[in-house]
Structure 1
Amino acid sequence: MTKLFRELLFRPSPKPSKAVCIGARSVGHYRIRPEWQDLLFPKTFTQFFWSISGTGFIRLNGRKFSLPPETVGVYFPNEKHEVGTEGPGSWEYRWWTMDGPMAEAIVRSLGFGEDRIYRAGPAPVELFEELTREISDVSYGGEVRADAVAFRLLSAVAAEARPNEAAPVAGPRPLRSFRGTALECIQKSWTDMRFGVEQMADALGLHRSVLSRRFRSEFGMAPSEYILRWRVQNALRMLTRTTLPIHQVAKECGWNDPNYFSRCVRQIAGYTPRMARTATQGRTVRETKLADK
């Protein structure tokens, strides 16, 4: 017989101890019986539910939203929470709550709001357990660390979340497969000066417009912008960790024009390649000399 449990832990103070924008209020891990339902009343915090096994639901404004495995549901402050199991079996899920003066605004700024159920993959058990440990530490340091872990959980959902209506939860997830294929293509070809959106579309066997649409849906930006950011990130790494001449760094990272390279770096990073090199030159040269001994 499946063991049922309700494990939960609250921050000792009803409000964050310090003036933080967003605080970790509580965390829990439930496996509940069929036909179980939480009490229906408004709550003053933002709460996320991450479904693990079985199926649950949340109800909002008379509309019922199912929560099958690997989906996340969200409630905002002052909304009536109506949560329960759906179907004949038990439902296992993890949840956490956040409060603070900017909690709702920050959550909404990350794209949550109109949709309430999101596909997000398996629950990050390690993060939930870390949040539980930090909330257990009643010191101010523990509270601050718990706030940071709660934000990491929020970021993990935001990075993976897709509205549940976009595709069924069960079965293959084409966007996830596309993500890996697209990244592999960029990682193989980004140093080639000729590599761009057209070459990427050809490599993936997609029309350019289809590639751009799917890429933007998965990564939140155009493929050309992602490729540029990837090149700049690697160029900055080379500028700060090697003594290669700047024009050589440009060539290694896919630029044949050092002036255009400089403009691209300034556009993304806010400073020129020479400024990046100068800021870390002493450390880089010293590390290089030590490595050569």
Structure 2
Amino acid sequence: MHAKFSTYRFNNQPPDDLPLTVRSCGSYSLTAQSSVEAPRKKWFSELFWSQEGCGEFELDGRWLKVDGTAVFFLLPGETHHIRPISDHWTYHWLTLDHPDSARWLQGFGMSERIVPMSDCPVHLFKSLYKIIDSAALTSDTEAAQMAHEILLTTRDLRRTANLAKSTWLEECRQRIDQDFADSQLNISQLAQDCGVHRTTLFRSFRQHYSMLPSHYLQNRRLHRAMDLLKQTDLPIKAVSHDVGFSDPNYMARLFKKVTGQTPIEFRIAHRQADITSPNHS
């Protein structure tokens, strides 16, 4: 079903006594065959909040996909070119025409053009529609308050999502710390245990810890191998087994890549250093 609703501020000029001003808002439900409008450069900021389905918007010559309940935005001077790509796409939007509108978006953490959200606050957009449509003397102030509430919601939902992400990521990291010596432990199994796709685990772990989970697992094994080489006389094959490497030759290659020495060279060098140390008796 194709349906468009929009409403505009009664006064064309934004009030000069408010730090946040709403020019218009609307709700579009589109089909894959719908045409939104011809591409056009606009002078205000616009925030879009997808409710269901998916679509695309063009930015710097690239089409960016918006899926589910994600938020995206366009800034003053950018061309608005949007299209649905699913059978049905519903989204809500509002425009901000205060000169500082871009700074408002940035201040609420809109650093990425597409921000995944867990929900769309349809009730807040409906309240904003009614406020603007009423054309009351207080509508500009009330619309600014409602836009502020919508922006706060983007921040709160993002914080909740980040907290949930940090929780399962921390559990994943702790699992590696606890079970790295298990040669059966691998990233695919970790992702399955965390209930996420392997690609999601790789991307999220790198964003949160500045390291791929596979590298973290590898480093935990190598650091434990270093300890065993320093503190024991275990054969290299036994060290490899005890730290979770099923192939001692693979461990040796990684070890030399990281330290510049083979495991045997590392052990000898460490013990020679102990012998020549002033504290050695």
TM-score band, normalised by shorter chain: 0.5 to 0.7
Report the equivalent of 1:283.
none
Over 3 Å counting, the alpha-carbon distance change for 1:18 and 1:56 in structure 2 is same
**Shift, 1:180, TM fit:** 7.9
Report the equivalent of 2:2.
4
Per-residue Cα deviation, 1:44-65 (whole angstroms, up to 9, x for no partner): 1111111112211111111111
Report the equivalent of 1:44.
43
Helix, strand or coil for the counterpart of 1:44? coil
Per-residue Cα deviation, 1:79-128 (whole angstroms, up to 9, x for no partner): 000101113x0211111111112111121222224x21110121101111
Contact 1:35 1:84 in 2 (8 A): no
**What residue ranges of structure 2 are gaps of 5+ in the alignment?**
178-203, 209-281
Contact 1:24 1:146 in 2 (8 A): yes
TM-score scaled by length of structure 2: 0.56
Structure 2 CA distance, aligned partners of 1:148 and 1:119? 23
Moved over 3 A (4+): 173-182, 204-207
Q: Would you say 1:139 and 2:164 are equivalent positions?
A: no
**Shift, 1:33, TM fit:** 2.1
Q: Give the number of the structure whose alpha-carbon radius of gyration is greater.
A: 2
Contact 2:118 2:161 in 1 (8 A): no
Over 3 Å counting, the alpha-carbon distance change for 1:4 and 1:110 in structure 2 is same
Report the equivalent of 1:82.
81
Contact 1:53 1:69 in 2 (8 A): yes
Over 3 Å counting, the alpha-carbon distance change for 1:42 and 1:180 in structure 2 is same
Higher alpha-carbon deviation: 57-66 or 150-159: 150-159
Structure 2 CA distance, aligned partners of 1:61 and 1:206? 38
**What residue ranges of structure 1 are gaps of 5+ in the alignment?**
163-172, 183-200, 218-293
TM-score scaled by length of structure 1: 0.54
Report the equivalent of 2:235.
none
Higher alpha-carbon deviation: 30-39 or 92-101: 30-39
Contact 1:10 1:26 in 2 (8 A): yes
Over 3 Å counting, the alpha-carbon distance change for 1:154 and 1:54 in structure 2 is same
Q: How many aligned residue pairs are there? A: 179
RMSD (CA atoms): 3.0
Report the equivalent of 2:109.
111
Helix, strand or coil for the counterpart of 2:22? strand
Helix, strand or coil for the counterpart of 1:140? coil
Structure 2 CA distance, aligned partners of 1:138 and 1:99? 17
Structure 2 CA distance, aligned partners of 1:46 and 1:15? 15
Amino acid at match of 1:150: A
Helix, strand or coil for the counterpart of 1:35? coil
Identity of aligned residues (%): 22
Report the equivalent of 1:101.
99
Matches within 5 A, 1:122-161: 122-161=119-158
Per-residue Cα deviation, 1:159-213 (whole angstroms, up to 9, x for no partner): 3248xxxxxxxxxx9846457899xxxxxxxxxxxxxxxxxx8xx6965xx9xx9
Structure 1 CA distance, aligned partners of 2:52 and 2:165? 26
Amino acid at match of 2:84: T
Over 3 Å counting, the alpha-carbon distance change for 1:109 and 1:175 in structure 2 is closer
Among 24, 39, 48, the residue aligned to 1:26? 24
Contact 2:2 2:34 in 1 (8 A): no
